[in-house]
Structure 1
Amino acid sequence: MTDLHTLQAEAGGTFDPDTGRVLSYGCDEEAIAAAMNGVALTDRSHWGLLRVTGDDRLEFLHNQSTNDIRQLQPGTSCETVFVTSTARTIDLATVYATEDALLLLVSPSGCQTLPAWLDRYLFPADRVEIDDVSAHFAVFDAVGPGSRILLGRLMQESLNADADRPDAPQSVALPAATHRLLTLKSGTTVRISPGCGLELPGFTAIVPRESAWTFWECCIAVGARPLGDRAWERLRVTQGRPMPGSELTDDYNPLEAGLLRAISFDKGCYIGQETIARLKTYDGVKQKLWGVQLAAPIAPGTPILQDGKKVGIATSVVPTADGAIALAYVRTKLAAAGMQLTFGGANSDAATGELVSVPFLAFL
């Protein structure tokens, strides 16, 4: 990854001294504009990648998470949520099925917590092995409508074609919930999947670490704008993607977190299934995650008060040119788009925010 970090530094990257991740390339507004109107490239190599092998791998993960893993065929993918026995959220993961394994793209904390948690449910007779392969791969997201053109350029590379070849693809959109391998002219083999972890056009690329710099250089050379952690976090909050440690904790379940996209209600028994089924059957979702438009930033953890009573809490906050955007859990019966709520009480430090729907979330 040293060569990749050299390229990122040359592009103006400022690194976090503790994590080594690129905080910013010095042009966050331009990078966000590229993600919304062109194409931006972000490095998600600090996320975890687990490899699950063995004849029982589909059945095992099917029984440990919320989505229908059994139906996955090689070349397909889905999102799924790992929850506790009481349906409290642990992590949101993307599962990629290959011929001989399941690859799980998990949050940065997931590679530390999930293997040990899953191991608790492995029996000696289970033909399942779980390996953390994060150190062997880099992960990149291309974000924005221009990602189709970028993927077309990569396809040209894989065809050993130049831009003038009439039958070379100029713009490519992969079918949803699929993934495929591309081998570029450099010899780099890349796993490409539609979706960029946000509710925006894009794709995810899983690349061997020794080839990470080659892939990055190729994407930047054909017009992708580098996007750092701060800009990605702003996109995440604006889009409404929940994350462990903020929105996905022991305090919340996946229905409250708006993760309907990753839940199957027809799959039968799994860890936490009884609680989730009961919440659905009896309309038991008492709070929901919302976006909040604020005039100024507030601190995560700031309570929402109504008539002196706590009715919600802010979980993530990012500054914007117009103030700030937050994610907050709010009592279901009190919340509606456009509603004005007070954060922090009735004193002079209180802030008013307007509830807004965010595209990543879906509820019952």
Structure 2
Amino acid sequence: MPTSAFNGKDAAAIQAATAEVAVGDGVSASVVDRSHWGRIRVGDDDRLRFLHNQSTNDFQSLKPGQGCDTVMVTSTARTIDLVSSYVLDDAVLLLVSPSRREALLQWLDRYIFFADKVQLTDVTDETATFSIIGTGSDAVVEKLAAGAIIGQPYGNHITVDGGVIVAVGSGLASPGYTVILPVSQKQRVWQQIIDSGALELSDRAWDTLRILQGRPAPDAELTDDYNPLEVGLWQTISFNKGCYIGQETIARLNTYKGVKQYLWGIRLHAPAEVGNTITIGDEKVGKLTSYTQTPDGYFGLGYIRSKAGGVGLKVQVGNTEGEVVPIPFVSHEYP
């Protein structure tokens, strides 16, 4: 077993977030502060039509209290960001990656035309976000008086006292909830979550979990080099909603089975570096995009040519060997 830089708290929090059943007598859940992620409020009468036309998912079918993940893409269907969206009574709240907040505000603003009734507001500084992760998350949201959300579909959300929004979905493949709240409520709610038995997950441990589970990140898996089908974000794409930015390219790739590479997990035998070439023999078949070390070994994410193969494929990553494994956050076919 490799030496890991993880401290005991991180290791315990990762275990709590990923345990399939309760560990001991405690709550099998972790909580991470994602307040540094961006939050954009999209308001006014045309908000749903506008977002419908600017991203991959079907917003016009959503009602207040529902939500979805969607991908913002360029006109040639290259990925900009994976965005979680929550439809409120009078607005849509977007949770965006930290490094994409300003760029997305500018990009969305560029597509608001004179007759459009759309208002964009950056509410990042006046709000906070937590993710509660793990099989014990239900017990935690019960303590937040949000038990009514348990068992509802992904993206559904309710608002409880103090303007605290509790939504289904942890932001990872593990079960859980996302909490978006006024910054004035941040310390109170955080303490409630900790007092309920959830373990604090550091930003570093979150990044390890997102790599192990295959959540793509900007500047790594989400770049101008890749489209949402290659990433494996099929669940965020509506193929029958009509025109949107990048739609023609995505439709053509789907219709003609034109996806030339896929994102996979790679279990590594030794350390590797982001950017390492992935090869089979003398043939280059892909590139490593993310890497982490855990108490259980070395792990990476990488794009591999679809013709090379998938799960079980043995590859060379830089100077080490690896094996391709599935990652639960993404899929390589329409659900």
- TM bin, normalised by shorter chain, reads over 0.9
Deviation at 1:130, TM superposition (A): 0.6
Q: Please give the residue correspondences for 1:274-313 in structure 2 after superposition, counting only pairs within 5 Å.
A: 274-313=248-287
Q: Please give the residue correspondences for 1:86-125 in structure 2 after superposition, counting only pairs within 5 Å.
A: 86-125=76-115
Between the aligned residues of both structures, percent identity stands at 50
Give, in whole Å, the separation in 1 of the partners of 2:274 and 2:125.
31
Q: Please give the residue correspondences for 1:50-199 in structure 2 after superposition, counting only pairs within 5 Å.
A: 50-155=40-145, 172-183=150-161, 188-199=162-173
Equivalent position of 2:310 in the other structure:
336
Equivalent position of 2:320 in the other structure:
351
Deviations 1:47-90 (A, max 9, x none): 11000111111111111100001111111001110000000000
The answer to whether the Cα contact below 8 Å between 1:91 and 1:110 also exists between their aligned partners in 2 is yes
Deviation at 1:34, TM superposition (A): 0.9
State the TM-score, normalizing by the size of structure 1. Answer: 0.85
Question: Rg: which structure is higher?
Answer: 1
Of residues 201, 206, 221, the one that matches 1:232 is 206
Give, in whole Å, the separation in 2 of the partners of 1:94 and 1:325.
26
| Structure 2 unmatched runs, 5+ | 20-27
Deviation at 1:24, TM superposition (A): 8.0
| Structure 1 unmatched runs, 5+ | 1-22, 159-168, 345-349
Deviation at 1:323, TM superposition (A): 2.3
The answer to whether the Cα contact below 8 Å between 1:25 and 1:228 also exists between their aligned partners in 2 is no
RMSD, aligned α-carbons: 1.7
The answer to whether the Cα contact below 8 Å between 1:24 and 1:228 also exists between their aligned partners in 2 is no
Q: Secondary structure at the match of 2:144?
A: helix
Equivalent position of 2:17 in the other structure:
35
Equivalent position of 2:24 in the other structure:
none
Deviation at 1:337, TM superposition (A): 0.8
Give, in whole Å, the separation in 2 of the partners of 1:138 and 1:94.
15
State the AA in 1 paired with 2:163.
Answer: T
Equivalent position of 1:200 in the other structure:
174
Give, in whole Å, the separation in 2 of the partners of 1:171 and 1:87.
34
State the AA in 2 paired with 1:333.
Answer: K
Deviation at 1:177, TM superposition (A): 2.9
Give, in whole Å, the separation in 1 of the partners of 2:294 and 2:171.
21
Deviations 1:303-345 (A, max 9, x none): 012343321000000001232110000000112211110012x
Give, in whole Å, the separation in 2 of the partners of 1:148 and 1:322.
28
Give, in whole Å, the separation in 1 of the partners of 2:295 and 2:39.
34
Give, in whole Å, the separation in 1 of the partners of 2:87 and 2:16.
31
The answer to whether the Cα contact below 8 Å between 2:270 and 2:321 also exists between their aligned partners in 1 is no
Change (3 A) 1:67 1:175: closer
Change (3 A) 1:204 1:170: closer
The answer to whether the Cα contact below 8 Å between 2:149 and 2:156 also exists between their aligned partners in 1 is no
Q: Secondary structure at the match of 1:220?
A: helix
The answer to whether the Cα contact below 8 Å between 1:153 and 1:170 also exists between their aligned partners in 2 is no
Equivalent position of 2:186 in the other structure:
212
